[in-house]
Amino acid sequence: MDIFLQQVINGLVLGSVYALVALGYTMVYGILGLINFAHGDVVMVGAFTGLALLKALLAAGTGLPIALAGAALGAVLACGLLGVAIERIAYRPLRHAPRLAPLITAIGVSILIQYVAAILWSKQYLALPAAFTPATWQIGGASVTDLQVLIVLLAGVLMAALLWLIHGTKLGCAMRATEQNAEVAGLMGINTNRVIAATFLIGSALAALAGIMVLLYYGVAHYFMGFMLGLKAFTAAVLGGIGSVPGAMLGGLMLGLIESLASGYIGDFTGGVFGSNYRDVFAFIVLILVLVLRPAGLLGKAQGERA
Amino acid sequence: MTAPERNAGATEHPSTGQLSAHSASAATARAADVLLEARRIGKRFGGLQALDGVSITVRRGEIYGLIGPNGAGKTTLFNCLTGLYSHDAGEFRFDGAALDTGSPDRVARSGIARTFQNIRLFGAMSVLDNVMVGRHSRTRGGVFGAILRTAGTRAEESAIRNRALDLLGYVGLQERADEQARTLPYGDQRRLEIARALATDPQLLALDEPAAGMNAAETNALRALIERIRADGVTVLLIEHDVKLVMGLCDRVAVLDFGVRIAEDVPAVIQRNAEVIRAYLGAGDD
């Protein structure tokens, strides 16, 4: 029972991070019909800028909470700018090009960001300063750290805020209109380029915070970390129904739980032939199953007009 | 039924029932004023000259009809005017200045709104949200205002909502405000498109076949609505296949045939124009 509970807790933490990253994929897909494959690398940039700021602030003698807040703010700003720049430079000129063109550009941007990061911050795993040892509590035979609680709570608050932004504000109204028909939204006086830029800004800001969560949780940052994380978050978005914001949240949490539980029990089920080092395989089994059995995802709408 | 005022923030004519700041009397006084002028507009699609030097002149305060056989270029002219297509030749002048048709949102901000032949509502959004979208061009609050919830943003959002509800009342859809737009009956969807277009505070409302698919009763209601919109100071440019409706409703009519404007006059003259009759009945058919 305690293994189960432990894996559920781990899965929720992992799922919260997946959900935050999946939101970026799903919002951009909803509005542009484009898979932004560079999104995972924005998470990586968030982790690296967060780490650099954290080290600098701690070295300057700032207290830990303020250093964390400063690092998060800096990473959000840096990634927000990066996301807007990616859209402006790499995707907007291809807005009316055949669909394959922006997809290839997305992969190019992803590789570019990875190697610029490798040059800026080295190809080594960079570790957090030793100051981080989260407090641990025991709950029913499972252990929970304060960091895990913080990650899940913060992700929950961010997702609630995003839902409110989309359904309760003028910007959200413009985003939904642009998603449904950008041409008509333009005719109603909405500057759709600005709405699209705002979408990238919001998605990238969430990615930055996810990057900091990953950094704190695993204690390291690496220039290639965005690749696997991005693929899994993309899987989560597809699982929930790509283009659906609640779907990305649900898909992220579910994928985190599936991955965590499956890797926790795979050793028992296979008599020790496969261990938890096969954990990455589950996300992609899920991806294949969803694409075969329910391509629209859990909360996705059946594809209508969009080609 | 009271028409809503122009802007819930800056009250101008709370009791005159004006849709627009241009009062009906002023519109009459300046009846000869030109609001929209298309000057020798040309548009080519590959080998097809869809518009060939089309010129029309729409006066302030009138209902102006654009008719012609299928494929004559009526909707193409609308699309060029509203920035969906870029025209190859000619220019539009609107309200005394050259019209920037570089992007649809700039056209909307200049004061031109339109509806579509094939209804294009935001189907998954509520009826009220559809109209609120139309208010965007007339309000300011940006991304940061929305995130930071300044007092100004909040006041503006409630003003947008009130104005949108007023407009739904104006077209008779107030009871359906919370329904999803795609669930509305056909005639109501057409009226919702008109309310959404009016939400941008247009000087010129361009309607692309608003009576298409409507029965006689719905067409009569539409006719009354268009007349009321004009009476409230908005100039109407109308593409319509229902010739009876056009001849009864429009002050002046232009006829397009194969991308060429073959006539522009009052309905009585248009009905007797030999070239127009030939375009509609086919050459050599008399």
pLDDT digits (tens, 9 = 90+) for B204-236: 999 999 998 888 888 999 999 999 999 999 999
Return the pLDDT at B156. 80
CB of B108 within 8 Å of any CB in chain A?
yes
**B125 to chain A: which residues are within 8 Å by CB?**
173, 176-177, 180
CB of A186 within 8 Å of any CB in chain B?
yes
CA dihedral B234, B237, B240, B246 (to 10 degrees): 70
Do B133 and A191 count as a contact with CB atoms less than 8 A apart?
Answer: no
CB of B129 within 8 Å of any CB in chain A?
yes
Q: What is the mean pLDDT of chain A?
A: 91
List pLDDT tens digits, range A45-99.
999 999 999 999 999 988 889 999 999 999 999 999 999 999 999 999 999 899 8
Do A190 and B137 count as a contact with CB atoms less than 8 A apart?
Answer: yes
CB burial of residue A202 (10 Å; 0-12, 13-18, 19+): buried
Whether residue B188 is predicted with pLDDT greater than 80 in this model: the reply is yes
Give every strand in the sheet of B63-67, ordered side by side. B112-114, B204-208, B235-239, B63-67, B252-257, B260-265
Return d(Cα B253, Cα B246) in angstroms, integer: 8
Minimum-distance CB partner of A189 among B109, B129, B142: B109
**A201 to chain B: which residues are within 8 Å by CB?**
143
Return the pLDDT at B147. 63
**B143 — pLDDT class (breaks 50, 70, 90):** low
Residue partners of A160: CB distance under 8 A and separation at least 6: none
Return the pLDDT at B89. 93
Minimum-distance CB partner of B108 among A181, A189, A194: A189
**B109 to chain A: which residues are within 8 Å by CB?**
189
The domain segmentation of chain B, as residue ranges, is 24-111+202-286, 124-201
CB of B134 within 8 Å of any CB in chain A?
yes
**B84 to chain A: which residues are within 8 Å by CB?**
183, 187
Percentage of residues of chain B with pLDDT beyond 90? 59
List pLDDT tens digits, range B54-67.
999 999 999 999 99
Return d(Cα B142, Cα A119) in angstroms, integer: 37
Return the pLDDT at A302. 55
CB of B137 within 8 Å of any CB in chain A?
yes
Q: Three-class SS of residue B198? A: helix
Full-model pTM:
0.85
Return the pLDDT at B271. 87
* Mean pLDDT across B235-246: 90
Closest Cα in chain A, distance from residue B47 (Å): 22
- Identify the residue among B78, B82, B103, B105 best suited for mutation to test binding to A, counting A beta carbons within 10 A and taking the highest: B105
Instruction: Report the chain A residue with the minimal C-alpha distance to residue B200.
Output: A188
**B31 — pLDDT class (breaks 50, 70, 90):** very low
Beta bridge partners of B51: B43
Do B143 and A171 count as a contact with CB atoms less than 8 A apart?
Answer: yes
Closest Cα in chain A, distance from residue B239 (Å): 18
Closest Cα in chain A, distance from residue B132 (Å): 8
**B4 — pLDDT class (breaks 50, 70, 90):** very low
* Mean pLDDT across A131-138: 80
Do B125 and A189 count as a contact with CB atoms less than 8 A apart?
Answer: no
Do B120 and A181 count as a contact with CB atoms less than 8 A apart?
Answer: yes
Distances (CA, A) of B209 to A53, A69, B191: 60, 57, 12
Specify whether the CB–CB gap between A124 and A56 falls below 8 A. Answer: no
List pLDDT tens digits, range A198-253.
999 999 999 999 999 999 999 999 999 999 999 999 999 999 999 999 999 999 99
Per CATH, the architecture of B24-111+202-286 is what?
3-Layer(aba) Sandwich (3.40)
Percentage of residues of chain B with pLDDT beyond 70? 83
For CA atoms B91, B92, B96, B101, give the dihedral sign: negative
CB of B200 within 8 Å of any CB in chain A?
yes
Whether residue B282 is predicted with pLDDT greater than 70 in this model: the reply is no
Residue partners of B74: CB distance under 8 A and separation at least 6: B66, B67, B68, B208, B239, B256
Do A186 and B125 count as a contact with CB atoms less than 8 A apart?
Answer: no
Instruction: Kindly list the structural domains of chain A, giving each domain's residue range(s) and its CATH number in brackets, ordered by start.
Output: 2-293 (1.10.3470)
Amino acid at position B150, single letter: T
* Mean pLDDT across B102-121: 92
Map tokens 């006041």 to a residue.
B155
